[in-house]
């Protein structure tokens, strides 16, 4: 079994050299061409000083050449840090400084040597094939740096090993990968979803279809299904909701849809399952510190009727989930902090030893010292061993002396007929304490007849019947849509700014 990303791609190139690996518009790149071009550029990178253990930042639009350059860096025994080419120069310079690289590929940062991205075609590079650098790389070695969203401060660089990616796509696993599968690559390149979309296809023999813009829209998905045979897609929960609202039939022709990153909206899931009963819908949960997914759940219609919302499922191969109260496990049915173990764990945060020590800990699990990542999320297991999400540990706030979990308010709101999505945010008073809660929500159109009424006053009354008075938000606002960050997740900071 291959243990590294580039060896897995090379194995596909040896097995099925003419199979299509990467599609962008009319451009079709087969596995042999991709792998040989990566060999050529790996030799050039090595000649410019890239060596095992280095981390190389890469700044590039979403192109087949970018894919080959990332493979080339891995073939050198180094790790890549893909940076968003749209980011301001100061942000790129700051993150590059944290990486301390031998060079930067495609970008320009004062004081750091630049390796310009090759202007030759992959076919031209493949014709030269000088052979890859002779380096030994294993599954525990660094492969990539992911960057957190930075919504609560500067983004953290998360150094992830090869095995964290490789563990996800072997058989059997949570979804179908391999020859005959095709998936859009549209997630931001610094994010771990990029690994799901790109290496999920290329390490297993599928096809990665590169989006030509920086975002994926329902019309783009329709085009990719018809032109490139796309049958698998990843969408954050917020984007999934948008696609269902705008064009639920855009999924026609798909075989599997992966979603998650946030609590799923039951009305949107219900609409999708009713419209597309033959498409597998997979709910995935996992922090970037454990590379893409820790647990998954193939969603069933009956999940939409559960009081706690749609479950986040069972561990993926190579990952363990532990519910702890401090360092002690909780019993099934009780809430605990979700802690993660296994091959998916990151090696460390870049240039942040303190955060690494705080979040990656060693705890005795059944008498065995086990390295864990503390997610800060809360969850509980039902009597079938299925994991349910119960909000964020660090979202708990005190309001008027009462401890309040905004996620619990959100869960109650989603039980109100007609509410599609909601977000509850604590609002600070002038003295810095939390004065009250604010809730933003979207709802079914009243004229559809689906609900008796979902104006703010009706919602407030309904919440008053479900929650103690101190948990009912003081401000309740209906919106046409909830804002999203560039990573496609709910933008709570934007909602707070709206209140000012």
pLDDT above 90 (res 411): no
- Boundary (domain end) residue, out of 394, 423, 455: 394
Please give the pLDDT value at position 133.
81
Q: Lowest-confidence range among 113-127, 163-177, 299-313, 465-479?
A: 465-479
**What average pLDDT does this structure show over 456-460?**
91
Exposure of 430 by Cβ count < 10 A (0-12 exposed, 13-18 middle, 19+ buried)?
exposed
Asked if residues 473 and 439 have their Cβ atoms less than 8 Å apart, the reply is: yes
Give the chain's length: 500
392 or 33, higher pLDDT: 33
pLDDT above 80 (res 155): no
Q: Is residue 327 part of a domain?
A: yes
pTM: 0.85
Same domain membership, residue 384 and residue 324: yes
The number of domains in the chain is 3
Same domain membership, residue 46 and residue 9: yes
Q: Is residue 201 part of a domain?
A: no
Q: How many other CB atoms are there within 10 angstroms of residue 286's CB atom?
A: 26
Same domain membership, residue 413 and residue 390: no
> What are the tens digits of pLDDT across the range 90-138?
889 988 988 899 999 999 999 999 999 999 999 999 999 787 788 999 9
Same domain membership, residue 370 and residue 244: yes
pLDDT above 70 (res 400): no
Same domain membership, residue 415 and residue 371: no
Q: Is residue 467 part of a domain?
A: yes
CATH number of residue 452's parent domain: 3.30.300.30
- Boundary (domain end) residue, out of 369, 394, 419: 394
Same domain membership, residue 434 and residue 380: no
Q: Lowest-confidence range among 22-31, 172-181, 343-352, 415-424?
A: 415-424
Same domain membership, residue 156 and residue 121: yes
Same domain membership, residue 293 and residue 235: yes
445 or 221, higher pLDDT: 221
What are the beta bridge partners of residue 209? Answer: 23, 184
Asked if residues 207 and 22 have their Cβ atoms less than 8 Å apart, the reply is: yes
Same domain membership, residue 439 and residue 368: no
CATH number of residue 72's parent domain: 3.40.50.12780
Paired sense of beta strands 319-325 and 336-342, if any: antiparallel
- Boundary (domain end) residue, out of 355, 376, 394: 394
- pLDDT cut 90: percent of the chain above it: 72
Place 154 in a pLDDT band, splitting at 50, 70 and 90. Answer: low
Q: Lowest-confidence range among 7-11, 14-18, 236-240, 433-437?
A: 433-437
Q: What are phi and psi of 141, to 5 degrees?
A: -80, 155
What are the beta bridge partners of residue 23? Answer: 28, 209
Range of the domain at 329: 216-394
Q: Is residue 220 part of a domain?
A: yes
Place 432 in a pLDDT band, splitting at 50, 70 and 90. Answer: low
Same domain membership, residue 300 and residue 222: yes
pLDDT above 80 (res 401): no
Same domain membership, residue 381 and residue 354: yes
Place 1 in a pLDDT band, splitting at 50, 70 and 90. Answer: low
Q: Is residue 366 part of a domain?
A: yes
Please give the pLDDT value at position 453.
55
Q: Is residue 202 part of a domain?
A: no
Same domain membership, residue 430 and residue 317: no
Q: Is residue 203 part of a domain?
A: no
> What are the tens digits of pLDDT across the range 467-481?
878 789 999 999 999
Q: Locate tokens 């023999």: which residue?
A: 205
Place 152 in a pLDDT band, splitting at 50, 70 and 90. Answer: very low
**What average pLDDT does this structure show over 342-367?**
94
Q: Is residue 209 part of a domain?
A: no
pLDDT averaged over every residue in the chain: 91
């Amino acid at each position: 079994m291959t243990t590294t990303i580039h060896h897995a791609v090379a194995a596909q190139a040896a097995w099925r050299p003419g199979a299509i690996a990467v599609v962008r518009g009319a451009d079709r790149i087969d596995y042999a061409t991709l792998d040989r071009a990566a060999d050529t550029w790996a030799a050039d990178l090595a000649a410019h000083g890239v060596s095992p253990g280095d981390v190389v930042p890469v700044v590039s639009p979403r192109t087949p050449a970018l894919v080959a350059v990332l493979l080339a860096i891995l073939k050198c025994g180094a790790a890549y840090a893909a940076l968003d080419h749209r980011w301001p120069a100061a942000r790129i310079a700051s993150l590059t400084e944290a990486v301390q690289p031998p060079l930067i590929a495609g970008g320009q940062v004062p004081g750091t040597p630049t390796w310009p991205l090759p202007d030759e075609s992959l076919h031209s590079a493949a014709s030269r094939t000088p052979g890859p650098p002779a380096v030994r790389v294993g599954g525990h070695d660094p492969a990539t740096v992911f960057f957190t969203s930075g919504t609560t401060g500067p983004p953290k660089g998360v150094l992830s090993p090869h095995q964290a990616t490789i563990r996800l796509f072997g058989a059997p696993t949570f979804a179908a990968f391999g020859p005959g599968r095709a998936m859009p690559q549209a997630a931001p390149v610094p994010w771990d979803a990029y690994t799901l979309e790109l290496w999920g296809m290329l390490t297993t023999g599928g096809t990665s279809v590169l989006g030509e813009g920086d975002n994926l829209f329902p019309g783009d998905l329709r085009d990719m299904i018809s032109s490139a045979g796309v049958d698998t897609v990843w969408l954050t929960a917020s984007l999934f909701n948008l696609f269902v609202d705008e064009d639920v039939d855009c999924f026609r022709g798909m075989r599997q849809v992966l979603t998650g990153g946030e609590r799923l909206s039951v009305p949107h899931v219900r609409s999708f399952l009713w419209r597309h009963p033959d498409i597998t819908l997979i709910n995935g949960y996992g922090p970037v510190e454990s590379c893409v997914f820790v647990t998954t759940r193939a969603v069933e219609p009956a999940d939409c009727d559960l009081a706690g919302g749609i479950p986040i499922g069972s561990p993926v191969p190579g990952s363990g989930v532990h519910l702890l109260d401090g360092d002690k496990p909780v019993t099934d049915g009780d809430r605990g902090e979700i802690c993660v173990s296994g091959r998916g764990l990151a090696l460390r945060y870049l240039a942040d030893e303190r955060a690494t020590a705080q979040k990656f800990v060693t705890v005795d699990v059944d008498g065995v010292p086990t390295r864990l990542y503390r997610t800060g999320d809360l969850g509980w297991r039902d009597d079938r061993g299925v994991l349910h999400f119960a909000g964020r540990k660090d979202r708990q706030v005190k309001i008027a002396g009462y401890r309040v979990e905004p996620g619990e308010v959100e869960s109650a709101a989603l039980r109100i007929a007609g509410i599609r999505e909601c977000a509850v945010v604590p609002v600070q008073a002038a003295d810095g304490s939390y004065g009250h809660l604010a809730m933003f929500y979207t709802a079914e159109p009243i004229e559809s007849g689906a609900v008796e009424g979902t104006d703010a006053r009706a919602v407030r009354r309904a919440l008053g019947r479900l929650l103690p008075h101190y948990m009912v938000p003081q401000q309740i606002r209906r919106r046409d849509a909830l804002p999203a960050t560039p990573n496609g997740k709910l933008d709570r900071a934007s909602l707070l700014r709206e209140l000012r």
